[in-house]
Amino acid sequence: MDTQQQLSSCLAELKRIVDDSKAIIEWHKLMVFEKRTNPSARVFFNDNTMAELTDKQAHFQSVWIQADELLSRLNQNSRKIEFQRQLHKLAMQFYYPGSDVRVY
């Protein structure tokens, strides 16, 4: 597998992590909503949101480091800039999930 394919794989993995993190946050919002609207409900939610998000952050950073190392080996300057832009976009989406800020 060449460097560009490995970078594409890293980007896809980072995108999955971002999507998973957003899903965890949405689940947490649902849990909070349910607790507020019906505090005596028989459905009990296990709140492990922080642990799940911490795991996702560690995984995101691990893949990010791998992608950064691959970027340093990439020789094509135009492709390098495009990969850097995509990495920056994913980082903004990961660190500011659920915000109304548009990331291009």
pLDDT digits (tens, 9 = 90+) for 29-52: 888 887 788 776 666 667 788 899
Tokens of 19: 């999507």
Count CA atoms closer than 13 A to 18's CA, side-chain side.
20
Amino acid in position 16: R
pLDDT digits (tens, 9 = 90+) for 52-99: 999 999 999 999 999 999 999 888 888 889 999 999 999 998 888 765
Q: How far is CA 68 from CA 10, 11, 44, 54, 80, in A?
A: 10, 11, 42, 21, 10
CB atoms within 10 A of CB 27: 14
